[in-house]
Amino acid sequence: MAEGTSPSPIVQRRRLRAELRAARQKAKLTQDQVASALDWSLSKVIRIEAGSVGISTTDLKALLGMYGIDDQEHIDKLVALGKAARERGWWSNHRDVLSTELLQLIEYESAAAITRNFEPLLVPGLLQTEEYARAILPDHAPTDSVEGLVKIRMKRQELLDRPDGPLLFFILDEAVIRRLVGGKDAMRHQLVRLIELGRRPNVTIEVVPFSAGAHPGLRGPFVVLEFPDPEDDDVLYLENSAGDMIRREEPDQVLPYREAFEQLREISLGPEGSAAYLREVADGMR
């Protein structure tokens, strides 16, 4: 089966956790009661329901037995879901250098049908050149660490070339374009890269000019991911002032950002106007 033709493991984990939470609630059991009955730690039950860890077939069947699920077809379906959820992608080999939240974001990116990304300060990782990526990493970071992180970022960009890849929408504040990262040459190369990527049919890049004044994006960067199956809710990633990623999945938490993204598109220069502006700024750096 070609890559991308079946749901990603992280999507499978989301589905399984929803099934397990619903089954526990239907059985009128608390997480504490489940942990006590199975002689598990409460944290294990919480992690399984949060989808942050996989679950063995043995543990899954024990849970289903507790919840009174005895329909074999349903059990087989959930066991297959559990097995698929334990699969790992290339990103799982980098747990030593990437945060759990960033690993999850990369995994969600690989499964998404549509990604909407707003950045007020820096070029998004999926669009960065190697020069730019190196320039924004801490000066005190060890060389091997820097090279490792840059390689991961470039590997992540393979998503852009995937035949079944997602639709990618990026909105950048003008500050992203005007900030000289790595010097004039590096920044010009980065702007040219943005122009080239914006020509792709699945990539849209737009710039919100300073003249737009205050706008919804000033609260900070965010990414909204939408999945092929309408049963899979959108996922929102935020970045706080410390650079930590925060995941939100409740529809009422995601919707305001979907609306903010559309508002930002309305005040942007549009795809064509943004491309022309990027070319103008790049030419001024020669």
> What residue segments make up the domains of the chain, in order of their start?
9-85, 90-283
Instruction: For the full predicted model, state whether its pTM sits above 0.85.
Output: no
- C-beta of residue 171 within 8 angstroms of C-beta of residue 117: yes
Q: Say how many C-beta atoms besides its own lie within 10 A of residue 262's C-beta.
A: 11
- C-beta of residue 270 within 8 angstroms of C-beta of residue 206: yes
Distances (CA, A) of 45 to 18, 42, 112: 13, 5, 27
Identical fold, 9-85 and 90-283: no
The CATH class for the domain spanning 9-85 reads mainly alpha
The predicted pLDDT at position 37 comes to: 92
Contacts of 154 (CB under 8 A, 6+ apart): 130, 133
Q: Mean pLDDT of residues grouped by 10 in the chain (286 residues)?
A: 52 82 91 93 87 82 92 89 79 80 87 95 96 85 78 92 92 97 96 97 97 94 91 88 78 94 97 98 92
Q: State the CATH architecture for 90-283.
A: 2-Layer Sandwich (3.30)
Per-residue pLDDT tens for 50-75?
Answer: 766 778 899 999 999 999 998 999 98
The predicted pLDDT at position 140 comes to: 63
- C-beta of residue 90 within 8 angstroms of C-beta of residue 9: no
The predicted pLDDT at position 242 comes to: 66
Contacts 24+ apart (CB under 8 A), 95-100: 97/145, 97/148, 97/149, 97/152, 98/152, 99/244, 99/245, 100/52
**Position of tokens 């329909």?**
71
The predicted pLDDT at position 3 comes to: 41
Could you give the CA distance from residue 85 to residue 15 in angstroms, rounded to a whole number? Answer: 9
**Position of tokens 């690989």?**
110
Write phi, then psi, for 116 (nearest 5 degrees).
Answer: -120, 120
CB-facing half-sphere around the CA of 87: CA atoms within 13 A: 14
**Position of tokens 């809710």?**
233
The predicted pLDDT at position 96 comes to: 79
Amino acid at 68: G
Could you give the CA distance from residue 15 to residue 27 in angstroms, rounded to a whole number? Answer: 18
Could you give the CA distance from residue 234 to residue 232 in angstroms, rounded to a whole number? Answer: 7
